[in-house]
Amino acid sequence: MFSRLHTFIGGTHIDAAKNLTAELPIEAIPAPEKVVLPLSMHIGAPAKPLVQPGEKVYLGQKIAEAQGAVSSNIHASVSGMVVGSERRFLPNGTVAACMVIKNDGQDTLDPTITPRESGLVLPPDEIRQLLAEKGIVGMGGATFPTHVKYAPQSSGRIIDTVILNGIECEPFITADYRILIEHADEVIRGLKYFLKASLANKGIIAIEDNKPRAIELFNQLTADDPNISVVVCPEKYPQGSERHLIYAVTGRVVPERALPSAVGVIVDNVATAMQAALAVKDDLPCYERIVTVSGNAVHKPGNYRVRIGTLYSHLVEQGAQGLKNDPARIISGGPMMGFSLHSLDFPVLKGTGGLLLFDHQSELAKLPPENPCVRCGKCVDTCPMFLEPTQLFKAVKRRDWPAALAGHVGTCIECGSCAYNCPAHIPLVQYIRMGKQFILTDGFGGHNPYYKK
């Protein structure tokens, strides 16, 4: 009898390029002189400020409150004084209101923070309340408020499985891998909180087969727990995509425009699980995270524990020991799904997992000219969503929005597999992303059936 292969159809094999930082332990960098905390570093409504310029704040104090059904609290990542508010660009190109706090260097912890002996004795609703109060969001990049995922399903659907995503398939990024190695106990504890909050009876930790050390460690730590298992997935990009991970691990298919809860599953990142463990047991809010800094333009690539709101320039100087060469390309996130930046004047957000800097000698800094489509079909073969990227690109280019919708442009997960394999070097993802943004913001005259004012 053959065992099921835990993978998906489509995708591509790419050089993981994780050797620069995979075996480097996490290092804490000094907190900066000031932090810039956007009120919109999560999916949903911006948080509402609770403090004004001139007020003193503690480390971990709630400074902005969630608004609406989908939103998240924001907490001070240093103690000090609120010195102003400003609007600035975020790495993804959006503009957000930000609170600026001047660090007093004391790291005086909010006196209301009270650790508890065990979080597992808490009822599910209290765990969900703590996840909300402490500002826990998806730290794999999506930044969806975690407490919303675990809210009781209005449809009455039962959640039976929680999957922890330890795949980390983006090249260069190793922050999650180091969390698996160095914070395994917190990851498992966080998963147990998730299981209790969702009333699920099955927890799965999914890890790619290129991480044998982590696989062995978690097999040992979960051997005596009948409710938690480790599933090893073959290395392939984008295995970490939520929909594809669910299919690879459970065989369930999430319908188009539906959430994982539709098939009884919740997926969370291992960094989110670690942060949830700190929130529930130690009463600590989300005010820091692990970020990989890599690339050939920095002196010291590594994995760094950094305060939320720290500017990238401080992270590079204090963590990576500055620039070795002038960067020709700066990427927030990974090379496949990240965002190219023009400077380091951007803050670390809750969803920031990596910062990559490449000089002129790097292949990743070179952008070949776009050529006409040769109709090879490679983009179609590798698309894990079974789309036709070349047709979507052509529809967007001629502003044929009905054709783009008919081609299911909204289903694209922007993984970059198509562009990576395109011999004509067409920036397919950029075209598709631009088309989706135009459709969502304008609705092209009200003809979009998915667009709502």
Residue 303 — φ and ψ, nearest 5°?
-115, 120
98 labelled ligand-binding:
no
List residues bridging with 354 in a β-sheet. Answer: 292
Q: How far apart are CA 17 and CA 21, in angstroms?
A: 9
258 bridge partner residues: none
Q: What is the 3-state secondary structure (H, E, C) of 124-135?
A: HHHHHHHHHHCC
What is the rounded CA–CA span in Å between residue 72 and residue 253? 29
10 Å CB burial of residue 35 (0-12, 13-18, 19+) is buried
Residue type, 390: T
Cβ neighbours for 421, distance < 8 A, ≥ 6 positions apart:
12, 378, 379, 381, 382
Asked whether residue 169 is marked as a ligand-binding residue, the answer is no
Does the annotation place 379 within a ligand binding site? yes
* Cα–Cα distance for residue pair 350/146, rounded to 1 Å: 12
Greatest Cα-to-Cα distance within the chain, rounded to the nearest angstrom: 69
Phi, psi values for residue 98, rounded to 5°: -130, 145
Asked if residue 415 belongs to a known ligand binding site, the reply is: yes
Residue 373 marked ligand-binding: yes
Q: Determine the angle formed by the axes of helices 212-221 and 175-182, rounding to 10 degrees.
A: 40
Residues at the binding site for [4Fe-4S] cluster are 373, 376, 379, 383, 412, 415, 418, 422
Residues at the binding site are 373, 376, 379, 383, 412, 415, 418, 422
